[in-house]
Structure 1
Amino acid sequence: MQTLVTILVLAPLLAAIIAGLFGRRIGNVASQAVTTGALILSCALGWYTFSQWTWGHMEAFTVNLLPFIHVGNFVSNWSVRIDALSSVMLIVVTTVSALVHIYSWGYMAEDDSKPRFFAYLSLFTFAMLALVTAADFMQLFFGWEGVGLASYLLIGFWFKKSTASAAAIKAFVVNRVGDFGFALGIMTVFWAYGTINFHDLFQMIAASAPRTWQFAGHTFPLVDIACFLLFIGAMGKSAQFFLHTWLPDAMEGPTPVSALIHAATMVTAGVYMLCLLSPMFEYAPVAKNIVTVIGAITALFAATVGLTQNDIKRVIAYSTCSQLGYMFFAAGVGAYQAAMFHLFTHAFFKALLFLGAGSVIHGMHHEQDMRKYGALAKLLPVTFIAMTIGTIAITGLGFPPLHLGFAGFYSKDTIIEAAYAAGTHNGVAMFAWVIGVLVAGLTSFYSWRLAFFTFNGTARWGHDDHHAADHGHDAHAAHGHDDHAHAETHDEPLPDDAHGAHGHDDHGHGHGHDHKPHESPWVMLFPLIALSIGAVFAGFVFTDFFVGHHQQEFWRGAIYNAPTNHVLHEAHEVPELVKWSPLVASILGLAIAVWVYLIKGNERLGAALAARNGPLYVFFYNKWFFDELYQATFVRAAKFLGDLFWKGGDQKLIDGLGPDGVSAVSYEVGRRTGKLQSGYLYHYAFVMLLGVAGLLTFALYAFR
């Protein structure tokens, strides 16, 4: 078993090296085959490992591969840790990544940099696998930074497109802010406990929980400080409130990248880390409350923004951000198992929605603006069915009395019920419950809005309709007030790397919008069908293992609940009204979406509401003006300081008084001295005469 899990983790790395270094020699097909084959192998091994853990009663173990850093008491080894948490993450990461690799065979068929793209995908997957199998903070940090690097490469894959390069830099920089806090947290843990190994650390926490730190006359619980700093890292990686601004811009990458990064891997790393560190957070009540509040606000913020976006990928991106908020406040109220359950189910239906959106974009000749879709259900039947399944799953529609529904019904309802149960003795958790129910309604509305906009109503993709959509109703959103919404109305570039080079315009004119939309090839539809199965059955099959009767046997100590934490048990005993509340909210959101976009017709009611340009609409459409706020404060301040130190300090002070100053003086002296060299003989004779006169004067004066 140890050999198998080692192959599982290292196979994508080997494939990335082969495709990245030798891709041009072995060709496109061989590069794609090597990377996809390695991921299918890892996926098969991941499911085998998970099945052995779930039904074979395999015990947790750690494989030490190589020594990494041994300096004094600081000891870190390359390891592969297998327990309930890592086995869940293994199937999530490898399944989505393998399907994304297969999907990319069709989606990137016309791109001329396939080996590079598939190498980046495999490198990203390896870094994520290293992260989720880490046995200590050092390897966790290595994987953490590895997925950050790979996401930078993937988001900016079409580097000739300026918006893609800017989005990649933005994602990298914002994540560095969070990673600074994460690094401080790791340092605090080592300073306080003398180890970074999870197994050794967790055994110390309960006994050392009362330890404090004195600073500036105040006393702070040490474990709270460490957990808060570590949570800052999770905020950046999982795009939580304040550090969320990179997520929508990351849509500039190819759609398979969006599915990989935002469905199951990079953005869920923060949730995984919080659940992994449950033995610490259980003794850090202040940090847990902060997690709860940030998670709830993130869920609300992203859901409100998702209501007004028109780019199909951006709507799903904000949906991801909102669902991550659910996971975070679930962990914050102590329901770590529910957070992991939602992470698990979310991977299926969110990857399904992203890849379904890619299928729509592919069929619509790379058009991403939903206002130019409509009536695609008959033309893209498989994509329509798949995305409808994903929409039902994410909105949590189900039947509480029979406890029957699609994947999201089980996990989202458990989180909301757990928040209510914790809220009976914690006001912060009750705040999260109220937000959770409200966001369930908002999620339903914007999810069905996307579905109705895309697949129902009247066709708006003909040449005349397309032109009208640019200049007609709701055109202010395409041309108007949001300086940072440029990516929303820019199409995803053609995968033939013609972006920029061939000068397609902002709205994709000239890319065949007169042509009839078409269904995607089967190599792209197969992943949709596979993910649809997960979106339908993942919740029903695994609910008892994650949060039900068999949770104790399933988790087997991988998640720790303090003796006072009974929130998951209490969640099953909440009032019936609480159990029905998310479903009622979801049905209400669906009903409003049906009224606005089907019964009344978007051209009349939906467009009229948007065209009214009310303050709430403008506020939500401009993403609560966070980009503008950060631009006016942090970005301008950083630019001012950079210019001050560069132009004032470096150029004028250091260079001016240093090498540039010395060279300037030398040049001026040489220039003035050079004027004495006139080339006329009588000038030189005159100077010689002056010299002789000077020497004679000196001799007469010296020897008198």
Structure 2
Amino acid sequence: MYLNIILLPLVGALFSGFGGRWIGSKGSCILTTSCVGIAAVLSGIAFVEVGLAGNTIHIILESWMESGVFSVHWGFLFDTITVTMLIIITWISTLVHLYSIGYMAFDPHRPRFMCYLCVFTFFMLMLVTADNLLQMFLGWEGVGLASYLLINFWYTRLAANQSAIKALVVNRIGDFGLGLGIFSIFWIFQSLDYSVIFSTVSLFDSYYIKFLGFSCHGLSLVGLLLFVGAIGKSAQLGLHTWLPDAMEGPTPVSALIHAATMVTAGVFLMIRFSSLLEFSPFLLSVLVIFGALTSFFAGMTGIFQNDLKKVIAYSTCSQLGYMIFSCGISCYDVSLFHLTNHAFFKALLFLSAGSVIHAVNNEQDMRKMGSLVRFLPMTYSLMLIGSLALMGFPFLTGFYSKDLILELAYSNSFCNLDLLCSSLALWLGSSAVLFTALYSFRLIYLTFLNSNNNTRVVLSSIQESSVLMSIPLLLLSIGSIFFGFMAQDLFIGLGTDFWNGSIFILPNHNFHVEAEYLPTFIKWIPFLLSSLGISFATVINITSIYKYSLLKTYKISFFWVYLINKKWFFDILYNRFFVYPILNFGYNISFKALDRGFIELAGPFGFSNFIPNWSSVIFQIQTSQMTHYVFYIIGSVCILFILVIWEYGILLNSFHLLVFYFFLVFFI
């Protein structure tokens, strides 16, 4: 059963990819959706057996690589972290597959699209079920490949080509850091198996690596390299630039990338290696700072985005910052709980946005929408539920994890010795709450409530999505309302033994109890900030302040608005200091000076010019006639045959002559 969870998406991908011509478009949709749906049912059974019954399943198939002390096998680990991720991946993927049947109904390449979705799901399942780092890295790279294929699905569009290449290249930077982290782990632990690493990590607490006269704490170095990989996949500040541009793919791709796969891989990696991170206080501080800055930056930038999908993309980046932030304060269970909650309302937001885009003739600029609440009342209701859950509105799914992260940060700021780091992260995270509410309701106003800015032709054709697209939205809305309340006690309740040792937290790093006894006013701060953000969005959109006349009055405020609108110039700085110099080096040095310069002059072209007599003979031999080439080959074989006889004194008998005769006849 457990192996079928992983293999069923692969089977669907193979049959849809290689047999789509024969089974047809509808057949590929039915096959792939059925395979992923069955995997989702089996994941539910696995969740009951492993998560609720307290069992841990470890399957070892056979050896993969062996060389000295280096030994890697094909193994699959199913613990509570894994089965929780299985629920997220398979259930969300099933709903996305079902949604895609209606969304891509008129696309001529629908079998290829469904195949890519299954490939994406398979590699993500391979990533979360691996019991060693090398197998995990296989799934890690496969997820990157699948994201490239899906973002570039409409490969005739230049923007899709550029976005896919950008996503692949930026993720390669993080993958390079992860690769170095895997090498470092093998150097320290002499193994890549999770069981060996996690059981012996405390023995290497005082292990230092010396290189070029410098001494570095081994576990801190390894954790930092692993975090570089997480920065790339989970789009943390610095390597976040690929995430908004990934919106060039079809909307179901965006929902799958942002809710269940790809971006969750980095957070999963940090949670999986909790036992290693706990022994590096420096790395925990790095996680807190990076997570808080990412949530603050993405929330602020999302306010000034006009593309419907890019606003939701920046909200994903902000929420991922909260998850990394939670890992930094040693609350890995809360991070995984927020990841699970986030999967429901983020998939709901993206698929609802897809319904809007589908209805308005593929228009994504919110400024050209408006008044859609009259035409799409169900989509408006569902997107409102997703937006409220994203903001952490009381008693919706996001409320039970997002507010708890801020409460734990407040507790950590008083219990932790690094007060400056914790306090800074606390206020950055709290500010992101205000920005989240502001851009969420700005999206609601511009898309559904403000005056319409579209043409009469488009308005006359607007209608609600089909049944196949509406069913996933309704199911996700139920999860966005009730899942947080239903799973709170199981995942993060005081005294719960759900994680069963799969997450390791040092006793002095546990702040759950302190968060329960915080003053009531502190617990109300996120709600007050969300209400303030809703009020700002309402005032800006229903009054004349939307012209930003107050901001234009003060030049310094206008400068900050311009800076945020340009995404803090990350793309420009990267192009100026990295992309253009590398391209110039590649053309002027690598191509012109080396490839077409030194290598050609030192190669056959230069050699033929240096020895003109030999070159004339070579040019005469190259007649471009097949009969001449056959003569040269047979002559060379005969000479080689004679030399072998001469060297080894082989006596020619009748059998040798017969073989040689038939050999010549065959070639002639």
Fold in common (TM above 0.5): yes
Tell me the equivalent position of 1:457: 450
Whole-angstrom distance in 2 between the partners of 1:54 and 1:541: 15
1:630 aligns with 2:574: yes
Checking the alignment, whether the CA contact within 8 Å between 1:352 and 1:528 is kept in structure 2 is yes
SS at match of 1:554: coil
C-alpha deviation, 1:611, in angstroms: 10
Q: TM-score, normalised by structure 2?
A: 0.89
Q: TM-score, normalised by structure 1?
A: 0.84
Question: What is the aligned counterpart of 2:38 among 35, 41, 59?
Answer: 41
CA deviation map 1:533-553 (0-9, x unaligned):
1100111001111211353x1
1:445 aligns with 2:438: yes
Checking the alignment, whether the CA contact within 8 Å between 2:608 and 2:615 is kept in structure 1 is no
C-alpha deviation, 1:419, in angstroms: 1.1
SS at match of 2:180: helix
Count of residue pairs the alignment pairs up: 609
Counterpart mapping for 1:372-451 below 5 A: 372-398=368-394, 405-424=395-414, 425=416, 426-427=418-419, 428-451=421-444
Tell me the equivalent position of 1:247: 243
Whole-angstrom distance in 2 between the partners of 1:81 and 1:74: 20
Checking the alignment, whether the CA contact within 8 Å between 1:16 and 1:119 is kept in structure 2 is yes
C-alpha deviation, 1:566, in angstroms: 1.8
Whole-angstrom distance in 1 between the partners of 2:603 and 2:550: 60
Whole-angstrom distance in 1 between the partners of 2:516 and 2:600: 70
Tell me the equivalent position of 1:589: 533
CA deviation map 1:659-704 (0-9, x unaligned):
2323456789989xx9xxxxxxxxxxxxxxxxxxxxxxxxxxxxxx
Change (3 A) 1:180 1:30: same
SS at match of 1:131: helix
Tell me the equivalent position of 1:194: 190
Whole-angstrom distance in 2 between the partners of 1:293 and 1:615: 25
Question: What is the aligned counterpart of 2:546 among 590, 593, 606?
Answer: 606
C-alpha deviation, 1:609, in angstroms: 5.6
Tell me the equivalent position of 1:183: 179
Question: What is the aligned counterpart of 1:237 among 206, 215, 233?
Answer: 233
Whole-angstrom distance in 1 between the partners of 2:82 and 2:469: 28
Change (3 A) 1:557 1:670: closer
SS at match of 2:59: strand
Change (3 A) 1:386 1:514: closer
C-alpha deviation, 1:514, in angstroms: 5.5
Whole-angstrom distance in 2 between the partners of 1:586 and 1:593: 11
1:648 aligns with 2:577: no
Counterpart mapping for 1:494-573 below 5 A: 513=458, 515-551=460-496, 553-573=497-517
C-alpha deviation, 1:218, in angstroms: 3.4
Whole-angstrom distance in 2 between the partners of 1:364 and 1:397: 29
Checking the alignment, whether the CA contact within 8 Å between 2:329 and 2:509 is kept in structure 1 is no
Q: Identify which range, 279-288 or 207-216, moves more after superposition.
A: 207-216
- Letter of the 1:637 counterpart: P
Whole-angstrom distance in 1 between the partners of 2:134 and 2:351: 33
Q: Identify which range, 253-262 or 565-574, moves more after superposition.
A: 565-574
Tell me the equivalent position of 2:121: 125
CA deviation map 1:503-558 (0-9, x unaligned):
xxxxxxxxx5363422111111111100001100111001111211353x111101
Higher RCO by CA contacts (8 Å cutoff, separation 6 or greater): 1
Tell me the equivalent position of 2:345: 349
Whole-angstrom distance in 1 between the partners of 2:140 and 2:550: 40
1:139 aligns with 2:83: no
SS at match of 2:488: helix
Tell me the equivalent position of 1:104: 100
CA deviation map 1:330-349 (0-9, x unaligned):
00111111110110000000
Checking the alignment, whether the CA contact within 8 Å between 1:274 and 1:331 is kept in structure 2 is yes
1:116 aligns with 2:112: yes
Whole-angstrom distance in 2 between the partners of 1:570 and 1:80: 37
- Letter of the 1:658 counterpart: G
Whole-angstrom distance in 2 between the partners of 1:429 and 1:39: 42
C-alpha deviation, 1:258, in angstroms: 0.2
C-alpha deviation, 1:418, in angstroms: 1.1
C-alpha deviation, 1:93, in angstroms: 0.4
Counterpart mapping for 1:247-286 below 5 A: 247-286=243-282
Whole-angstrom distance in 2 between the partners of 1:431 and 1:319: 21
CA deviation map 1:543-589 (0-9, x unaligned):
111211353x1111010011222222222222222211111111110
CA deviation map 1:359-397 (0-9, x unaligned):
000011100000011111121111111101101100011
C-alpha deviation, 1:619, in angstroms: 1.1
C-alpha deviation, 1:222, in angstroms: 0.6
Whole-angstrom distance in 2 between the partners of 1:371 and 1:550: 49
Whole-angstrom distance in 2 between the partners of 1:193 and 1:669: 58
5+ residue gaps in structure 1?
399-404, 464-511, 675-704
SS at match of 1:377: helix
Q: Identify which range, 262-271 or 215-224, moves more after superposition.
A: 215-224
| Structure with the higher helix share, 1 or 2 | 2
- Letter of the 1:430 counterpart: S
Whole-angstrom distance in 1 between the partners of 2:71 and 2:550: 58
Whole-angstrom distance in 1 between the partners of 2:615 and 2:196: 70
Q: Considering only aligned residues, what root-mean-square deviation do their CA atoms show, in Å?
A: 1.8
SS at match of 1:65: strand
Whole-angstrom distance in 1 between the partners of 2:559 and 2:23: 57
Checking the alignment, whether the CA contact within 8 Å between 2:50 and 2:78 is kept in structure 1 is no
Change (3 A) 1:657 1:34: same
